Amino acid sequence: MTVTPEIDVDIRANIALPPTDLLIGGEWQPAAAGERFDVIDPVTERVIAQVARGREADVERAVAAARAAVDGGAWSKLSGVERGKLLFKLADLMERDFRPMTLVETLDIGQPLKNPAGAIAALRYYAGWADKIDGRHVSLPDANGRPTHTYVRREPIGVVAAITPWNSPLMTGAWKIAPALAAGCSVVIKPPEDAPLSTLYLGALALEAGFPAGAINIVPGFGLEAGAPLVAARGVDKVTFTGSTAVGRQIGATATAALKAVTLELGGKSPQVVFADADIDRHIPMMARQFYLNSGQVCAAGSRLLVQRSALDRVLEGVAAQLKKVRVGDPFDPRTQIGSLISRKQFERVSDYIEQGRSQAELVTGGNRIGDSGFFVEPTLFTGTNDIVIAQEEIFGPVGLAVPFDTYDEAIRLANDTPYGLASVVYTSDISTAHRAAADIKAGMVRVNGGASVPALQVPFGGMKASGVGRELSYSGIEACTVEKTVSFEL
């Protein structure tokens, strides 16, 4: 049942907000120009905070503080064990503040009970790595056959600039700062202008945990005003970005022209490939969840349902029935499954795609706004072909498109027929089909017969094609924040 949102005003009035200034060199500071920007609750469209609006001068101060931290500052003198302890402490403080952090992130994003569990888990995972990053020894004679003592050091890359999106800023932020800090880098993080509060909360807890000045710096602000100068800043050694492909291209170009290391986690248009031999009834709820959770504002959302023709009617009927049951409403209501889109801009974008869907495909269910305040959209399913706009472009809303196929080869061709290659799901009961598809689909992640939509920390995450460059999470995250140096002694 889809419900009209009823808004809990009391809970909103009593949420304790974090500091709203810039965190630079271990101190909260206003922006140099003294400016602030409004942070809006997407559900009520009311201003919930006014946050310092960072610009180039602020970015420069933050990068200088981060440089000092790694160039001989207190942070650079800590051992891996000590860095790990600080990361564990930060995770413990986030667990202590689990409820208030949940309220802040939920208020900021408008999605149901966005708790810090994923961020806490990432901090602990990388806290464990901090004292296990080592180099290697290579047994090697020199050109004259004399023995040498040669070893390879794995060193922190230096200052890491992290830019995050609004759909899960605390978790994506933790995926960036945790490996960087574990490796001994310092960070300057620019949280999204639409949802900066949870990152500022994390900053306050980092100070409480006792991170040395400059290890973690936060510069909230807008993309062109704070993000772009951060990417270009001379003191930055590595840029790690999660966001849209269009912005990622610009960031990648700037960073690589300056020969900085770069990791880009970008958009997606991920296929769910349903073979007729799959246990369809069992998987139908998963097929629906893949594109309505977080109102579809998930980079790895399975927004294209490619279905073998003989199973199409069953899948359309089953998924539509699931979508009709989804409770859309106030994110603070524990019964709510999905909340509001993040902003008016995103609502207009999603509505525009739904209109294009109506003209180019057949609407199966949904397609409407719910209520007239907040940005609630019904979970929506279309059926059509893979060459239309809503099959090719990322919508970032609760909108799926079902496309029929006949043969295995056609399924793979359709699965790979978008600019993106982030994630995918394959449903089949045939183990050979599953393994063949896992090899043939061009995506950073293939899940067979379901699996969590948030990737496990222990395995690499990232995209192919226009979905990104490089990998986050697992030990790959540590490698991405470190450089190797060869040292050789003549003996």
**Cα end-to-end span (Å), the chain:** 77
Q: Residue 252 interacts with ligand NAD (CB under 6 A)?
A: no
Q: Among 157, 183, 200, 168, which residue's Cα sits nearest to residue 20?
A: 200
Stretch that binds ligand NAD, among 92-100, 138-146, 220-228, 371-379 (CB under 6 A): 220-228
Catalytic residue among 60, 105, 225, 265: 265
Q: How many C-beta neighbours within 10 Å does residue 368 have?
A: 11
**Residue 161 contacts residue 235 (beta carbons within 8 Å):** no
What's the sign of the alpha-carbon dihedral 350, 354, 360, 364? positive
Stretch that binds ligand NAD, among 59-67, 96-104, 264-272, 312-320 (CB under 6 A): 264-272
Interaction mask 180-219, ligand NAD, x per CB under 6 A: ----------x-xx--------------------------
Half-sphere exposure of 331 (CA within 13 A, CB side): 30
Which CB atom, from 193 or from 330, has the smaller least distance to ligand NAD? 193
The tokens describing 111, both together, are 């999605």
Q: Residue 459 interacts with ligand NAD (CB under 6 A)?
A: no
**Residue 409 contacts residue 308 (beta carbons within 8 Å):** no
Distance CA 459, CA 446 (A): 12
Instruction: Out of 78, 163, 183, 316, point to the residue binding ligand NAD (CB under 6 A).
Output: 163
Distance CA 479, CA 207 (A): 26
**Residue 324 contacts residue 2 (beta carbons within 8 Å):** yes
Catalytic residue among 185, 299, 394, 479: 299
Least spacing, CB of residue 472 vs ligand NAD, in Å: 7
Instruction: Out of 187, 251, 273, 441, point to the residue binding ligand NAD (CB under 6 A).
Output: 251
> Is 299 an active-site residue?
yes
Q: Residue 102 interacts with ligand NAD (CB under 6 A)?
A: no
- Beta strands 238-242; 261-265: pairing state: parallel
Count of chain residues binding ligand NAD (CB under 6 A): 31
Which CB atom, from 216 or from 299, has the smaller least distance to ligand NAD? 299
Residue type, 156: P
The footprint of ligand NAD on residues 285-344 (CB under 6 A) is 299
Distance CA 437, CA 415 (A): 10
Q: Residue 224 interacts with ligand NAD (CB under 6 A)?
A: yes
Q: Residue 166 interacts with ligand NAD (CB under 6 A)?
A: yes
Instruction: Out of 105, 237, 265, 330, point to the residue binding ligand NAD (CB under 6 A).
Output: 265
Distance CA 459, CA 443 (A): 14
Which CB atom, from 106 or from 164, has the smaller least distance to ligand NAD? 164
Distance CA 282, CA 275 (A): 13
Q: Which residues of the shown chain bind ligand NAD in the complex (CB under 6 A)?
A: 163-167, 172, 190, 192-193, 222-224, 227-228, 231, 242-244, 247, 250-251, 265-268, 299, 394, 396, 422, 463, 468
Give me the active site residues, please: 265, 299
